[in-house]
Amino acid sequence: MSAYDDLIGGSLKLKSKGAGIKKKKSKKSKKEAKESRRHSGDEAEVTKFAEEDTGTASASSTSTVPTRTKAEARFEEIQRKRKMEKIDKLASKSHRQRVAELNDYLESLSQHYDIPKALAIKHPSPL
């Protein structure tokens, strides 16, 4: 008996169905597309009127039931405040002032392409 008797031959199979194969989408005719849009518009109007009728009753019931916890409400309030502070900070400076500050910052940086003096020392030549 050989060590290779228990092996299964053949190509590897992927677990999912047709992982590499994409089916072509069927194209609708223009007539069918227009009809489906028209029907979806009618359904949207019906649901809109239904929501208006029940909107007053559902609005009062949702106001009594809190949807967020106290911690979530506090977190969102803090996020809103931080966002407003950031907007105020950005709005306080003009574009020209921000560009000038960036240029000052870049001038203060050392130039990355300069060769440090430690590497510029010549090594003694071998005899």
Degrees to nearest 5, angle at CA 60 with 56 and 61: 115
Residue 90, classed as helix, strand or coil, is: helix
- Is there a contact between 20 and 14 (Cβ–Cβ < 8 Å)? yes
| pLDDT at residue number 83 | 97
Query: What span, in angstroms and rounded, lies between the C-alpha atoms of 55 and 49?
Result: 9
pLDDT string in tens for the chain (127-residue length): 577 787 777 787 777 666 566 667 777 677 777 777 776 665 556 566 555 555 555 555 555 666 889 999 999 999 999 999 999 988 888 999 989 999 998 888 877 666 666 555 566 666 6
Inter-CA distances, 86 with 20, 81, 90, 102, Å = 47, 9, 6, 18
